[in-house]
């Protein structure tokens, strides 16, 4: 049976703590046009964030009407950085926005005059990788995203596993070190405190603050100011062979592999996809992760080892996934 929306377009919106990006996406997952706005932030009224989303979506709708007038826009998919209710109508909590139990889906549908779907941003990105990216062809795919923290999602037999309350996938808050580094969630020793952009930045700053000659190469990327070092500086230095930077990325990779082994013991995925900004380090990050994963995997030597692959869709994944969810819902 032919999907009536095969030729339809959809709009995906990635709503984060610093920006809102709306993208026009076709049925093959190709991004045709984008509109970006700054996110007002958590100190601003919740409705102001809605205004920004509406403005960005309307710009993309205008592009479609001007350049692709014969193509229908089937709907709008929203990928939000926060907790989304099990019925996918409400953002329960968004740590970087003013959204607290906000019925975003229905309010935006009324304002836009289009069908709107809502999901967590990591779920949307996982769906994109499953449909169009590194997860193609695998029925049980685990996505882990390394950015400031760690997010992720699990796709099982063609559906995103959201959990009983819609809150599954908060992998970054598994506790891997009892009484370890304090996390923003209130607990100690969470995985994301050891394997994330924040963790790499913290360790790099500590190394620079000691004014060690060992970190001289890394210091050149931030003019010797520890407060200015960012995760991408570490990646840049590592690509030149800087020993300190390679050690920092290797540490993050090994912690990544340890956490993935724990997840594999519980979830047994057929493929693991790693995305997020930190994953731009490529095999500098993933090789140490693969080695640690193989060493710590339960039943190692007597079971298949899931491949660990880099995500393919980059920062567009959330938009592409949210748009595809909207298009598929419109189809039936």
pLDDT tens digit sequence for 81-114: 889 999 999 999 887 788 899 999 999 999 999 9
Residues 87 and 49 in one domain: yes
Q: What span, in angstroms and rounded, lies between the C-alpha atoms of 64 and 75?
A: 13
Instruction: Determine the pLDDT at residue 332.
Output: 45
Answer yes or no: is 193 within a domain: yes
Instruction: Determine the pLDDT at residue 42.
Output: 66
Answer yes or no: is 162 within a domain: yes
Residues 77 and 169 in one domain: no
Which residues of the chain have a pLDDT value below 70? 1-6, 41-44, 332
Instruction: Determine the pLDDT at residue 4.
Output: 44
Instruction: Determine the pLDDT at residue 176.
Output: 94
* CB contact set of 212 (below 8 Å; sequence gap of 6+): none
| Chain center to CA of 329 | 22
Residues 307 and 320 in one domain: no
Residues 172 and 286 in one domain: yes
Q: What span, in angstroms and rounded, lies between the C-alpha atoms of 66 and 87?
A: 35
Count structural domains, the chain: 2
Residues 165 and 305 in one domain: yes
For the whole model, what pTM was predicted?
0.91
Strand ordering across the sheet containing 100-102: 83-84, 91-93, 100-102
- What is the dihedral sign for C-alpha 285, 286, 288, 289? positive
Range(s) of the domain holding residue 45: 9-132+316-330
Give the burial class of 63: count Cβ atoms within 10 A of its Cβ; 0-12 exposed, 13-18 middle, 19 or more buried: middle
Residues 102 and 208 in one domain: no
Residues 226 and 306 in one domain: yes
Residues 156 and 284 in one domain: yes
Residues 93 and 172 in one domain: no
Answer yes or no: is 3 within a domain: no
Residues 323 and 263 in one domain: no
Q: What span, in angstroms and rounded, lies between the C-alpha atoms of 210 and 98?
A: 38
Instruction: Determine the pLDDT at residue 186.
Output: 85
SS (H, E, C) the chain: CCCCCCCCEEEEEEECCCEEEEEEECCCCCEEEEEEEECCCCCCCHHHHHHHHHHHHHHHHHHHHHHCCCCCEEEEEEEECCEECCCCCCEEECCCCCCEEECHHHHHHHHHCCCEEEEEHHHHHHHHHHHHCCCCCCCEEEEEEECCCEEEEEEECCEECCCCCCCCCCHHHCECCCCCCECCCCCECEHHHCCCHHHHHHHHHHHHHCCCHHHHHHHHHHCCCHHHCCHHHHHHHHHCCCHHHHHHHHHHHHHHHHHHHHHHHHHCCCEEEEECHHHHHCHHHHHHHHHHHHHHCCCCCCCCCCCEEECCCHHHHHHHHHHHHHHHHHCC
Structure tokens at 118: 């809502």
Answer yes or no: is 91 within a domain: yes
C-beta of residue 285 within 8 angstroms of C-beta of residue 256: yes
Answer yes or no: is 29 within a domain: yes
- What is the dihedral sign for C-alpha 44, 47, 48, 50? positive
The CATH number linked to 18 is: 3.30.420.40
Residues 151 and 288 in one domain: yes
Answer yes or no: is 268 within a domain: yes
Residues 61 and 146 in one domain: no
């Amino acid at each position: 049976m032919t999907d009536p929306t095969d030729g339809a377009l959809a709009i995906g919106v990635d709503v984060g703590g610093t920006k809102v990006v709306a993208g026009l996406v076709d049925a093959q997952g190709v991004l045709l046009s984008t509109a970006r706005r700054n996110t007002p932030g958590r100190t601003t009224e919740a409705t102001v964030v809605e205004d920004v989303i509406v403005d960005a979506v309307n710009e993309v709708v205008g592009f479609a009407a001007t350049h692709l007038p014969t193509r229908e826009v089937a709907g709008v998919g929203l990928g939000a950085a926060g907790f989304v209710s099990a019925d996918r109508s409400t953002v329960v909590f968004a740590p970087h926005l003013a959204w607290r139990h906000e019925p975003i889906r229905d309010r935006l549908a009324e304002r836009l005059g289009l069908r709107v779907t809502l999901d967590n941003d990591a779920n949307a990105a996982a769906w994109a990788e499953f449909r169009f990216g590194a997860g193609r062809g695998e029925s049980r795919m685990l996505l882990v995203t390394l950015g400031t923290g760690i997010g992720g999602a699990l796709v099982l037999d063609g559906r995103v596993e959201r959990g009983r309350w819609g809150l599954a996938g908060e992998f970054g808050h598994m506790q891997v070190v009892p009484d370890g580094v304090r996390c923003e969630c209130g607990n100690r020793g969470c995985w994301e405190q050891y394997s994330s952009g924040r963790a790499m930045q913290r360790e790099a700053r500590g190394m620079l603050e000691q004014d060690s000659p060992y970190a001289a190469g890394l210091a050149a990327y931030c003019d010797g100011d520890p407060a200015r070092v960012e995760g991408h500086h570490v990646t840049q230095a590592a690509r030149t062979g800087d020993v300190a930077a390679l050690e920092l990325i290797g540490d993050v990779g090994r912690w990544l592999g340890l956490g993935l082994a724990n997840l594999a013991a519980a979830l047994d995925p057929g493929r693991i996809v790693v995305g997020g900004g930190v994953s731009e380090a490529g095999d500098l990050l993933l090789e140490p992760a693969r080695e640690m994963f193989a060493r710590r995997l339960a039943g190692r030597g007597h079971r298949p080892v899931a491949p660990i692959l880099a995500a393919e869709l980059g920062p567009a994944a959330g938009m592409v996934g949210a748009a595809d969810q909207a298009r598929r819902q419109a189809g039936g």
